[in-house]
Structure 1
């Protein structure tokens, strides 16, 4: 009771592309966090880390346009550490 009903409709190509761009956003942020620990020269690390962040944010904005603000809000709430221990309001 209270569970979401999964529809059998096929998602449009732009929606799937948007989800892929949101995943790339997360991967690029992880790459930016790992970059300082690589054996690259310091100026190279700075360029790579800032490049990952800039490209990641651009991909996030494009992906957000494709999937819609509701999906982005839900996706970001999963990534917020404040919400990790909260129970879903439909679980009981």
Structure 2
């Protein structure tokens, strides 16, 4: 009976962590995009440098935590889909 409770408890926690991991992986490129836009904002250079550095560091931390929550296999699957080298292969297979 105790094992069943532990299994049910683990099943309830996993989907939340999975969704959180996916959310962090989605937020990761947004931070990198924001870091690319910051140089064009009219702030002093020191503030721009701080914001860009913070975006890159926080983005990488979010990526690593997201990979830990989602799993390496899922990340590898989505990275292969986002790789432009694989886009043409998919179109050739469909024809």
RMSD: 2.1
TM-score, normalisation: structure 2: 0.74
C-alpha distance 84-33 of structure 1, shift in aligned 2 (>3 A)? farther
- The whole-number CA distance in structure 2 between the counterparts of 1:89 and 1:73 is 22
Give the CA deviation at 1:46: 0.5
Asked if residue 76 in structure 1 is aligned to residue 86 in structure 2, the reply is no
- The whole-number CA distance in structure 2 between the counterparts of 1:45 and 1:86 is 40
More helix by share: 2
SS at match of 1:87: helix
Give the CA deviation at 1:90: 6.2
The range that moved more, 29-38 or 67-76, is: 67-76
Q: Which residue of 1 aligns with 2:40?
A: 37
TM-score, normalisation: structure 1: 0.76
Show structure 2 runs of 5+ residues with no match.
Answer: 1-13
**Count of residue correspondences:** 82
Bigger-Rg structure (1/2): 2
- List 4+ stretches of structure 1 deviating above 6 A: none
Give the CA deviation at 1:83: 3.4
- The whole-number CA distance in structure 1 between the counterparts of 2:21 and 2:92 is 27
Q: Which residue of 2 aligns with 1:55?
A: 58
Q: Which residue of 2 aligns with 1:19?
A: 22
Show structure 1 runs of 5+ residues with no match.
Answer: 1-10
